[in-house]
Structure 1
Amino acid sequence: MSVLARAVREVESAVQRGSSTPSTRTKFQVIALLVREERAQVKADTTRSEAYRAEQLKRLDGIATILAKVAVRESPLLELLDENAVVTDAARGLRREMLIAAGRQPGEDSVAVTTPTATTTANAATTAPKRQVVPQAVVSRQLSNPFLAPDYEAFSAVAPRPDTQRPRRLVNWELIEPLLNSFETAADGKAASMDLPDRADPRTRDGQLLMRHQAQVVEAAEEGHRTFLLADEPGLGKTAQALLAAQAANAFPLLVVVPNVVKTNWAREAALWTPGHPATVIHGDGDTIDGFADIIVVNYEVLDRHVGWLGDLGFRGMVVDEAHFIKNKKSQRSQHVLQLSEQIRTRTVRPLLMALTGTPLINDIDDFRAIWQFLGWIDEKKPRAELMGALEATGLTPADPGFATAARTSVIDLGIVRRRKVDVAADIPARRVADLPVELDDSLGRSIRKAERELADRLVARYRMALEARAEAAGTLTGAAAVVDGIDHDLVRRVVGAELTDKSAKTGENVFSMIRRIGQAKAGLAADYAAQLARNVGKVVFFAKHVDVMDAAEAIFAERGLRYSSIRGEQTNKKRQQNIDAFVNDPEVAVAVCSLTAAGVGINLQVASNLVLAELSWSAAEQTQAIDRVHRIGQAEPVTAWRIIAAQTIDTKIAELIDSKAGLAARALDGSDDEVASAADVQLEALVALLTDALRAEVLPVTP
């Protein structure tokens, strides 16, 4: 102990003088290694009294504290505390000398030598995140006990129940696809929601009154349920439910991963619902965060920088807001979220894991896959133990008629919670979407219709070329598939797919630039209608997809003498919140001009009951999210979304497709028996309709 104490003082003095030489760095690392070894030996020495061991451990803590202070002054030394840090020959030699000086027999070296090879260096360069940071507050937290790796042994995952340890009947069956498909084929007219307990007292610990559906989720967490796909319709208070569930489950520290636009709102909600648990929000590199906070909020966009230290912090719960953001498992943010949830599940006994999204299905039932994996219900290839046990207990296989219904129930019971406003919040007035067709009869409108005809002509030419090429290759067109009314519909879809993926230069506009121009053409008409609404019925929310449409609308509002707030993606969180507060609290601010993508989630604008959708989205979910900024708890009036549609253009077809695709979530989660339209992209279906209409108009024959 005296040898270590003397050596640590030498290192401390050298760093204070600013002379941190390679020998000082070597001595720093060796002291850290020996402290770690000595601590383990003291704990394992049962021949000594408890008092002696406590005293030795106290002295070791004193040495560790000095090293921690040194590392704070000289941050490069932190790298030497990593268990995988390279141990040089010089360090191994110094360790031996210090042991001999202390009267110890060096014996066999217990320090593993790590020599970076060219291959491992190259691999590290290709697999490491682009940029990793560790905020200083987190460093301070780690340095409070820097030489012991976290002891996760006490928090190891719960062993599976005996009936789930050895899958039997289903071990050789492919189960993931049947499980996913069961949500499309086994709708029984009931919402996909687990049985939830009622809470005797629907109040929080601080006396705030909850709605019944909110209190049920909190009570389920209180009773021990730990995984939730909380898929309530937007506007039913999922943020509050998640925070209070974490409090009920004592799942702190809690990691919350959210879109950038809502992270400040999460901190506000935490202060409101769980005031006894401080929250910190990570901005950028997180230089100013509180590393000791109970709730740490990070946005998807910077998660790659922080995934390293977040994985080691010892979270007992994790919430993923707008969980449909992780539907693409190949994306970096999805991989980071899944990595963090895996680490938490491995290290913590029954952690609280919650996926929050009012629109879990955007395009396809397969969107469930990443969310289920985050929750630990499945892995890459098969159900995990708990779900496998439930499936085994059904006594059925995918070949049996009743398997789909039983499988769907088994997944729901793991924690799917889906409630609709109409069912649980009768005090929220109804909403409706009203389409307002507008005629684009100016020069811009004429040019748009001309560009649309040119696009249709280009698709027809592609179709003819494809027919001719196939005829030359096969010698005949006899037996062509899916020929209806003289049109080969399979070929139509292939032609449209080629148009969407063709990156080569071509004359004329594509569907994306055309839709943008339609939005520009509608901007003045949509803003004029919003201004009329503001004059007649009060506050109005104006949604647009493109900045130039927002700019045009704001110019018209200013010209009409209407004050407005602008809520955009490029704003700072502070500025954005100021503009939201101005619209909500200032009676003179008549219009909120919102970005459809940046303001479509995480904000409450129920002070208005009318909104104008100036541009159409490519997804039903995005449109729904926008409407639900207004149609949510606290709304006192019926809500109307006025959707501006350019008549006699492709705009009308896109609106129809958006409405048809909204049926997917209804069928999978709400138990609807409605037929679900194809889950293919709206862009594809819009162009298929455009080409099909053009071919019918020409009465194009099958043979060239």
Structure 2
Amino acid sequence: MGLGKTAQALTLCSQFPSDFPLLVVCPSSLRGNWREEASRWLPSSIVSNPERHIQVVLKGSDKLRHEARVVIVSYDLIAQQEAFQQSAHGKKYRVVICDEAHFLKTPSSQRSKALRPILQETRRCALLTGTPALAKASELYSLLDCLLPGLLPTHNVFCKRYCNEKTLRLGKRHVKQWEGCRLGDELYAVLDAVMVRRFKKEVLSQLPAKRRQRVVLDRLSNEQGVLKELREKMSAFGRQPEEGDLQGGKNGGGATAATELFRLTGLAKVDAVADYVQYLVEAECRFLLFAHHQAVMDTLQQKLEKLKAGFIRIDGKTPSHKREQLVNEFRSNPAKQVALLSITACGQGLNLQVCSTVVFAELHWTPGTLLQAEDRAHRMGQQESVNVHYLIAKDTLDESVYQMLERKQHDVGVMVDGQASKIGAENVGSKGTFSKTRPVENPEPESAESGNPNPPGAQQESAGEDPRQLRLFFPKPKEAGAEDAGEDSWVSEHPGRIVEHKRASVETLRLLLVTSGRCGSAERNTTLLPRGRERVAMVCNGVPVRATVVALPFTDKRSASHMPVYPFNRGLAPSTESPSPCSV
């Protein structure tokens, strides 16, 4: 998580504006994030007016707008409503992104049945997931079938080849079940043809120690009239809250009203927070979950119990002797996936660097309190970059409080550090940012021959940079033009090459289809893609460029001795052309 899938997918799709509208399918808890990221990463030539050109579908009765250039819909809604399975013009979508694509792992599920024809018939498709298979090879079938339509065998044949068969006896019936993985090297070759995989260990030295992500929640609860009451009281309050309002200081008359707004905001967004927590739990992420109000913590605890997730809870009512016991339990037991913590009661003195993700279900009006809570994970002994997720409910007190935190952090930075600092100054990643941007001055990209592994400006992690200059991190490539050590090393390791384009360093990745694996040239490669589909990836340091295909140089000899023979890849004539990866 947090290695730039969203940014890469949107930047890639932006290269094909004639194929818009873009369909984005994601979990319901991430729709707000995609709206913000689309407005951030898509150029103004596509999205000049985000409110008009980006449509988030919130309920089944919504109507698609003809002017929408980006349509964002949840898995459940698109599976239930056929109206969302084509554009407002009644045409098939030609460019589609599926976030958390492992939601499609079961071919017989309703969402898989609904999305499979959409993904198979679209011209361009990006499936994003940190966990393409959770437990067994059979879970890959549905994703591959969407990317390689018409090329795979049946699900049963696929599983026979790549899974271990197990027969279970249920009463008098014998049920066949697929488990594990066999022929893993061959399956990896199939995946490697359509997959770009990132690991934190590959980019850890390039990542900041702490990254903050603003997660926008667009679904607020109106249970027991909470949302209505919240809006009425916000209207009656009539202004943005000040520090004294929330702390009960100089504005004593407004303290009670502002504190009540703070409580109602927590209650109104708790269901959306619970959805986001479920998303993290199902992604097998281990994290610290901070909240402020007891009612919010109680609801989140009920959600964790329903999910059967291992967790601990520490709040102001937890005795000090038991607190230490719970902390040691969380640190020593990986089965404890979540630590549910009170912001004020647990912001200091706890060492919980065993996980690298921190989630704030609610905000606090003091920046120092939030920073101290962040540092429960970001401290000595932490081996990874720490991701901090701030869950912000749109059009609520959250937005006002966050702006106030920005102002206060600025003042603290001037006083203590001698320079302005911001609560979002280090923000990067795919969930949003408050960082201000400016052009990077005098970029000095090195030539392709230098083999420079880092894009221009890769060491400039200071606040205020154009976020597009540093948001995509990639493993160190081989030197450009370096000779491969042999046939096997070329097939398994060749990462592409570094080229220079418009004063930006661009890495072209090897990304092939099984159907074109024996082709020697990129030009011929593209002609063999089914239905004009393009399965390529573009990685770029700040400057959008046209995506490329870099073909593997399979010869007759190589295809005969090195290329796996797939049951669904027979009959392709090997190419005799010399290898010639295409350039940008």
TM-score range (shorter-chain normalised) is 0.3 to 0.5
Rg comparison, structure with higher value: 1
Larger relative strand fraction: 2
Instruction: Report the TM-score when normalising by structure 2.
Output: 0.35
